[in-house]
Amino acid sequence: MLSENMQAALNKQIKIEAESSQVYLAMASWSEGQGLEGISEFMYAQSDEERVHMLKMFKYVNERGGHAEVSELAKPALEYGSIKEMFETLFKHEVFVSQSINDLVHISLEEKDYATHNFLQWYVAEQIEEEAQARTILDKINLIGDDKGGLYLFDNDIKQLSVVSSVAPPTV
């Protein structure tokens, strides 16, 4: 059974995960409008992934006897001055999400809610991967600079982007 405090904290994170999906969706739309098909496809896929993160937590709250809430979401930015600005925004957002997950882990330990602590470990590992991926993309964007040819190649390459985290289980 979840404490009221843990339930409230998880519901706050559910909202953050839903807003993350919206952030990626807005970035997908902006990228598509810029003719960046590869980046747009990547962002649509990331939006779907964030929604799955939200649903996983939503179901967990209900399974533990709590009540998962659907809340109003903040409207994400719809325009960016550049690809670099968009990916800088994305990286900062992922760092914010990581901190929020860390805060949840802290609450679970304070409350000796080891089931929730165990559940949250997946999110901790996922955020390490999300931050690494955003950092890698931003590094590539910085390398490209204002080179339109480099951006064209990157737009094609991002379709195959895969960042293996140091905490990811080995693939067999």
pLDDT score at 167:
55
Give me the mean pLDDT over the 4-20 stretch: 98
CA atoms within 13 A on the CB side of 141: 19
Asked whether residue 121 is domain-assigned, the answer is yes
Q: Is 127 annotated as a binding residue?
A: yes
Backbone angles phi, psi at 8, to 5 degrees: -65, -40
Residue 93 among known ligand-binding residues? no
Is 152 within the bounds of a domain?
yes
Q: For residue 171, what pLDDT is reported?
A: 45
pLDDT at 165: 46
The answer to whether 106 is annotated as binding is no
Is residue 94 marked as binding?
A: yes
Quick check: is 60 in a domain? Answer: yes
Half-sphere exposure of 135 (CA within 13 A, CB side): 10
Whole-number Cα distances in Å, 122 to 9, 118, 119, 160: 17, 8, 6, 24
CATH number at residue 97: 1.20.1260.10
Q: 162 pLDDT band (50/70/90 cuts)?
A: low
State which residues form the domain around 99. 4-70+78-160
What is the number of structural domains in the chain?
1
In this model, does residue 168 exceed pLDDT 70? no
With a cut of 60, say whether residue 36 has pLDDT above it.
yes
How confident is residue 164, by pLDDT bands cut at 50, 70 and 90?
very low
Domain assignment of residue 98, yes or no: yes
Whether residue 166 is contained in a domain is answered as: no
**Does residue 171 lie in a domain region?**
no
What is the predicted pLDDT for the residue at 161?
72
Assigned domain for 168 exists: no
Of residues 1 and 161, more confidently modeled? 1
Structural domain contains residue 42 = yes
Please tell me whether 17 is known to bind a ligand: yes
Q: Which residues contact 15 (CB under 8 A, 6 or more apart)?
A: 69, 71, 73
Alpha helices per DSSP H over 34-147: 37-63, 83-110, 114-144
Say if CB 103 and CB 111 are below 8 A apart: no
- What are the pLDDT digits (tens) for 49-77? 999 999 999 999 999 999 999 999 999 99
